[in-house]
């Protein structure tokens, strides 16, 4: 079954190449994207089920054994992330059918989309830190191009900040990888985890861990490093925004979870305490930034930041329940956040603007869209019985259990302010009368197509809430694997003499 591990990377890579070959056949490209991401979703779910039932799957590239070759590893965390990436890719591919500016398809939108998904799957499934760097670069280059597709002034301005800060972060990651190799002579994550656990003087390991932390904190838009995100995420096509919002920052969060459970658990009093501070400030600054905004997608962008705080909080508290909460939070967040951006795109189609002051009355004209907005919006704010309630509940419960009161208070305040922001969007965009007559955006695609991914994602949100028990069990199994690095090490290096 181990060929399954390579499929989530190979499928989008092949589809990307095929889309380039079919450069002029844009209709084919379109349906290839929908079908391809659909297949990717099915394969990823299959992979997840396989890993859930039979344990970690490992593929040694070129059959090079142990720590020498590059390994692909699908443990539960990696498999869960791959599924989430594929699902958001699928939703965005459908949404693109009827929302993308037609001339952008000419500039290779679909090949870039596939490349981005391949990069994400690669980053989630690799078991080698240099390979992780390479996959992160693959997805970054694709995201640079997607972000600037269209070439408007705001996109250029946003892209300069996005490109600069992400390049700086990549250089820091490269330095960390290089220092790790120089000191320990290996790049394999399992081998490194093994070597780190035997090091007596942990100061150098902690130093390297901080380099990794800074690099991935920039990529996940955590507290002192998040400025690139609200400057750029509201500028591209809304389908691109949705994919970025759901997936890209979560690659950083995933890497933090991977590094700081598997490899860097020597000095948790220092590293995880620092993560806890980062988490608290990330939540607060994100949600306060959102409160000051009046542009639909900018509000949502700032909320990405505050939600990242909850996930890092789960990691930083570093109890079994907290890790479960963190994993649950990632699952809930990717679906909900991508969906909210898709709703913002549908509202833009109807009203012709993202500025909340200029729009209104969507509830009157499209009541179903309003209801479909409320599902992810209330879930984001943590209303029961939606997915966000359980996600927040588990993380906060974990904080209460180890009596880490300040972070609990911050998390609760952030939840309340999130509700405020969502109600602001509801009142301005959906409830009030539009201040001036609305001019819908003309687009050849049918409007009902937009409902398909939005309703599908809302259904997933409802299901995560209603069937919270099995999802919780899945997150718990993932957390058990993460907190026992020996399982991972044995799976990867088991056949070592």
Partner 1 sequence: MEPVLALVSGALFTAAIYLILRRSIVKLVLGLILLSNGANLLIFTVSGLTRNAPPLIPEGMLTPLGASADPLPQALILTAIVISFGVLAFAVVLIHRAYEVVGEDDLDQMKDTDR
Q: CA 330, CA 326: separation in Å to the nearest integer?
A: 6
Stretch that binds partner 1, among 26-34, 87-95, 129-137, 248-256 (CB under 8 A): 129-137
- Comparing CB distances to partner 1, the nearer of 231 and 394 is 231
Angstrom distances, CA of residue 482 to CA of 197, 350, 394: 15, 45, 17
Min CB(394)–partner 1 separation in Å: 35
Per CB under 8 A, 433 contacts partner 1: no
Cβ neighbours, 10 Å, residue 328: 30
One of 2, 103, 164, 268 touching partner 1 (CB under 8 A): 164
Asked whether position 235 contacts partner 1 by CB under 8 A, the answer is yes
- Site map for partner 1, 180-219, x if CB under 8 A? -xxx-x----------------------------------
| Nearest CA-CA partner of 256 in 285, 202, 220 | 220
Count of residues near partner 1 by CB under 8 A: 40
When asked if residue 129 is in the footprint of partner 1 (CB under 8 A), the reply is no
User: Token match 């507290």: residue?
Assistant: 223
Q: Segment contacting partner 1 (CB under 8 A): 178-186, 308-316, 387-395, 465-473? A: 178-186
Place of tokens 């189609």: 349
Q: Which is nearer to partner 1, 127 or 280 (CB)?
A: 127
Sequence-separated (6 or more) residues with CB below 8 Å from residue 454: 95, 339, 342, 343, 346, 369, 372
State how far the Cα of 144 lies from the Cα of 244, in Å rounded to an integer. 11
Q: What is the helix, strand, coil percentage profile of the chain, to 5?
A: 80, 5, 20
Cα angle, residue 473 at apex, residues 469 and 479 outer, rounded to 5°: 140
Map the footprint of partner 1 across residues 134-163, applying CB under 8 A: 134, 137, 140-141, 144-145, 148, 151-154, 156-161, 163
Least distance between partner 1 and beta carbon 330 (Å): 27
Residue among 234, 303, 333, 366 that touches partner 1 (CB under 8 A)? 234
- Residue 108 backbone zone (phi > 0: left; psi -120 to 50: alpha; other: beta): left
- Does residue 102 interact with partner 1 by CB under 8 A? no
Residue 188 pairs in a beta bridge with 128
Residue 231 contacts partner 1 per CB under 8 A: yes
Q: Are strands 71-74 and 57-60 parallel, antiparallel or unpaired?
A: antiparallel
In this chain, which stretch among 11-19, 25-33, 168-176, 326-334 interacts with partner 1, using CB under 8 A?
A: 168-176
Binding site for partner 1 (CB under 8 A): 130, 133-134, 137, 140-141, 144-145, 148, 151-154, 156-161, 163-164, 167-168, 170-171, 174-175, 177-179, 181-183, 185, 227, 230-232, 234-235
């Amino acid at each position: 079954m181990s060929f399954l591990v390579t499929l989530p990377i190979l499928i989008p890579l092949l589809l990307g190449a095929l889309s380039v070959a079919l450069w002029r056949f844009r209709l084919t490209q379109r349906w290839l994207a929908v079908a391809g991401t659909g297949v990717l979703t099915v394969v990823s779910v299959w992979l997840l089920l396989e890993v859930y039932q039979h344990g970690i799957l490992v593929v040694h590239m070129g059959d090079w054994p142990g720590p020498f070759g590059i390994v692909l590893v699908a443990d539960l965390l990696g498999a869960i992330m791959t599924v989430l990436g594929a699902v958001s890719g699928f939703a965005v591919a459908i949404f693109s059918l009827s929302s993308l500016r037609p001339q952008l398809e000419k500039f290779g939108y679909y090949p870039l989309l596939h490349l981005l998904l391949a990069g994400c799957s690669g980053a989630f499934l690799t078991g080698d830190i240099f390979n992780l760097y390479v996959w992160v670069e693959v997805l970054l280059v694709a995201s640079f191009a997607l972000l600037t597709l269209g070439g408007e002034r705001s996109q250029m301005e946003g892209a300069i900040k996005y490109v600069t800060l992400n390049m700086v972060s990549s250089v820091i990651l490269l330095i960390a990888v290089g220092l790790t190799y120089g000191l320990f002579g290996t790049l394999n994550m399992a081998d490194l985890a093994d070597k780190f656990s035997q090091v007596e003087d942990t100061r150098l390991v902690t130093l390297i861990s901080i380099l990794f932390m800074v690099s991935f904190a920039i990529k996940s838009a955590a507290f002192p490093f998040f400025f690139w995100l609200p400057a750029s995420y509201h500028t591209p096509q809304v389908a691109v925004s949705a994919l970025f919002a759901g997936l890209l920052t979560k690659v950083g969060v995933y890497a933090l979870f991977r590094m700081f459970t598997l490899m860097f658990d020597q000095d948790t009093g220092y590293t995880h305490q620092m993560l806890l501070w980062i988490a608290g400030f990330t939540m607060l600054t994100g949600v306060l930034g959102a409160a000051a905004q009046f542009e639909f997608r900018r509000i949502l962008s700032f909320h990405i930041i505050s939600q990242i705080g909850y996930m890092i909080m789960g990691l930083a508290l570093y109890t079994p329940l907290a890790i479960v909460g963190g994993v649950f939070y990632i699952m809930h967040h990717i679906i909900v956040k991508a969906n909210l951006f898709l709703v913002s795109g549908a509202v833009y189609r109807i009203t012709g603007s993202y500025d909340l002051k200029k729009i209104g009355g969507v509830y009157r004209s499209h009541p179903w869209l309003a209801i479909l907005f409320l599902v992810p919006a209330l879930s984001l704010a943590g209303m029961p019985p939606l997915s966000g309630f359980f996600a927040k509940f588990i993380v906060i419960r974990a904080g209460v259990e180890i009596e880490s009161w300040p972070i609990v208070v911050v998390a609760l305040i952030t939840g309340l302010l999130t509700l405020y922001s969502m109600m602001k969007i509801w009142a301005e965009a959906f409830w009030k009368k539009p201040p001036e007559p609305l001019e819908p955006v003309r687009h050849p695609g049918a409007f009902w197509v937009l409902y398909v991914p939005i309703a599908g994602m809302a259904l997933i949100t409802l299901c995560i809430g209603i069937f919270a028990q099995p999802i919780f069990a899945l997150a718990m199994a993932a957390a058990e694997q993460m907190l026992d690095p020996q399982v991972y090490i044995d799976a990867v290096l088991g056949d070592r003499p």
